[in-house]
């Protein structure tokens, strides 16, 4: 009975996070230089300035809008501490893409849903081709092989409201 109650609460939190993220699809940078009213809101939420990369700030902002205190970072590798890593993906899981040229996770976003070997994502600072230096908030379809790791900021210590 308690398990079902917790699961239902988490399902509502997942839905709320995805709803907030979906509401941002279509946001675009003003000049293509990590700027514009909404982009600057995402950056300000994590204490960053116009012109800085913002994929992790977008993820953090979405969680903040849902009442979560964490995550709150503009550094995408910080979204994946060991204590939050998961292997079973759910809606609102945070995903990270590893870039060999950077030697680290260098792009992050939110999982909307998984279908077989594909995940539908909502992510900021990307574009139609899935770049990590994009121009807006997009819904993307990514193969699971392209994802390095996933993190859960809902069900682990410190993530809840």
Identify the residue whose tokens are 């969680």: 63
**137's tokens:** 């908030």
Structural domain contains residue 68: yes
What pLDDT, on the 0 to 100 scale, is given for residue 56? 98
pTM: 0.91
Using 50, 70 and 90 to split pLDDT, how confident is the model at 155?
confident
* pLDDT at site 9: 57
Give pLDDT, residue 7: 52
Q: How many domains does the chain have?
A: 1
Instruction: For Cα atoms 81, 142, 48, give the angle at the middle one, nearest 5 degrees.
Output: 50
Whether 26 is covered by a domain: the verdict is yes
Average pLDDT, integer, range 52-75: 98
Domain hosting residue 108, numbered range = 2-151
- Residue 133 in domain: yes
Q: Identify the pLDDT of residue 158.
A: 44
Quick one: average pLDDT of 2-18? 71
Task: Report yes or no: 91 and 111 within 8 Å, Cβ to Cβ.
Answer: yes
Instruction: Flag whether pLDDT at 141 surpasses 70.
Output: yes
pLDDT at 128 over 80: yes
């Amino acid at each position: 009975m308690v398990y079902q109650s917790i699961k239902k609460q988490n399902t509502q939190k997942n839905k709320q996070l995805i709803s907030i993220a979906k509401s941002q699809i279509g946001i675009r940078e003003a000049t293509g230089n990590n700027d514009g009213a909404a982009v600057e809101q995402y950056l300000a939420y994590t204490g960053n300035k116009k012109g800085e990369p913002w994929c992790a700030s977008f993820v953090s902002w979405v969680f903040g809008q849902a009442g979560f205190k964490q995550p709150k970072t503009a550094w995408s590798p910080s979204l994946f501490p060991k204590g939050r890593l998961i292997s079973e993906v759910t809606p609102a899981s945070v995903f990270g893409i590893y870039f060999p040229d950077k030697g680290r996770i260098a792009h992050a976003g939110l999982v909307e849903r998984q279908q077989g070997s594909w995940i539908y994502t909502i992510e900021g600072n990307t574009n139609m081709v899935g770049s990590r230096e994009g121009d807006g908030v997009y819904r993307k379809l990514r193969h699971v092989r392209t994802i390095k790791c996933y993190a859960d900021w809902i069900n682990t210590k410190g993530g809840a409201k």
